Amino acid sequence: MRNKTLTQYLIEQQREFNSIPPTLRFLIEVFACSCQSISNIVSKGALGGVLGIAGSKNIQGETQKKLDIISNEILIKANEWGGHLAAIASEEMENIFHIPNRFPKGEYLMMFDPLDGSSNIDVNISIGTIFSVLRCPKEVTQPSEKDFLQAGTEQVAAGYAVYGPQTDFVLTTGHGVNCFTLDREIGSWVLSQENIRIPEETQQFAINASNSRHWYPPVQRYIDEILAGQDGVRGKNFNMRWVGSMVADVHRIINHGGIFIYPADKREPNKPGKLRLMYEANPISFIVEQAGGSATNGSQRILDLQPIELHERVAVFIGSKNEVERVTRYHIDI
């Protein structure tokens, strides 16, 4: 593993599994390079003049930060020209982005959340970038939104970058999960963790407890049992960790175990959840399952869900298998 770069890893994966064609390898390398650029800008903070709000809202109705827009532009510009993509979709854009006619078109579709956890930007807390890759349907020369509406099981690659004390790039192409750390001295991503596995048992959970009065009974039951600690039915104490950045919370869970919960609640009963299925839940679920964990929406495996719209929302219960299965069972047993 020592000093193995992302490129070396991808080439070895192609030799071993014959599953990473050159165009997909190039796509991943370009995206990782984009994340390196975002990391450099994030690290400058106020010195780079990139903090604060942009004075606009995205399709989700959320106030955009300057770094949301900058990160989105970096990812578009880096990925539009290489000939590996047929179209792009971003959480920050209402419609899909068609590859300009002056560039060749490829066989893949890419989706991303340019800057997850952007509410944490101004206070120097870990944030990140999430991406997902699908194959463009054959014979499609001008992709439309419906071509992106594929179940998560159809992903050929997914990953995220987390910009924290160090910058990490976590990747799966369907053969396990590996982490690469940005070595700024040599300007390369270097393999730092191989074949990451999430412990099935855990004593950590991540949820926004301030919303507890709005939770539905299955979530309330599950959290009440956890909070009862060793004196309750679970017979052990749990610790709560909540960063407010999905990539940061999930990165901890991938390394140490735990469960990340962002449920639907009574505030907006017509909405199935808060997080976006295509840009957040699907790629993270792919990663978590490849690391031995589980991911459901409370009643169904997330990767089996058939999307009906590009910016669809979903409830998420992601992490250590035994905990995800327990809280899912509480939903099913209603």
Q: What is the mean pLDDT of the chain?
A: 93
In a domain, 211, yes or no: yes
Q: What is the CATH number of the domain that holds 222?
A: 3.40.190.80
Q: Are residues 273 and 170 in the same domain?
A: no
Residue 73 annotated as binding?
A: no
Q: Assess whether 143 and 219 both reside in one domain.
A: no
The residues that bridge with 167 in the sheet, in sequence order, are 163
Q: Do 253 and 166 belong together in one domain?
A: no
- Residues 155, 220, single domain; the answer is no
Q: Does 163 lie in the same domain as 48?
A: yes
Q: Whose CA is closest to 158, among 136, 145, 143, 177?
A: 177
Among residues 129, 164, 193, which one ends one of the domains?
Answer: 193
Q: Was 34 annotated as part of a binding site?
A: no
List all residues 6 or more positions away from 9 whose beta carbon is below 8 Å from its beta carbon. Answer: 178, 180, 191
50 has a pLDDT exceeding 90: no
Residue 60 lies in a domain: yes
pLDDT in tens, 115-159: 998 778 888 889 999 999 999 999 898 999 999 999 999 999 999
Q: The dihedral of CA 222, 223, 226, 232: what is its sign?
A: negative
pLDDT at 107 over 60: yes
Share of the chain above pLDDT 90, in %: 84
Last residue of a domain, one of 193, 212, 234: 193
- Domain region containing 244: 204-332
Domain-embedded: residue 136: yes
- On whether 154 is known to bind a ligand per the annotation, the reply is no
CATH number of the domain bearing residue 182: 3.30.540.10
Specify whether 51 is located in the same domain as 186. yes
Q: In the predicted model, what is the mean pLDDT of residues 22-42?
A: 95
On whether both 270 and 163 belong to a single domain, the answer is no
> Which domain-ending residue is among 161, 193, 225?
193
Where residue 56 falls among pLDDT bands split at 50, 70, 90? low
Is 333 annotated as contributing to ligand binding? no
3-state secondary structure (DSSP) of residue 56: strand
285 annotated as ligand-binding:
no
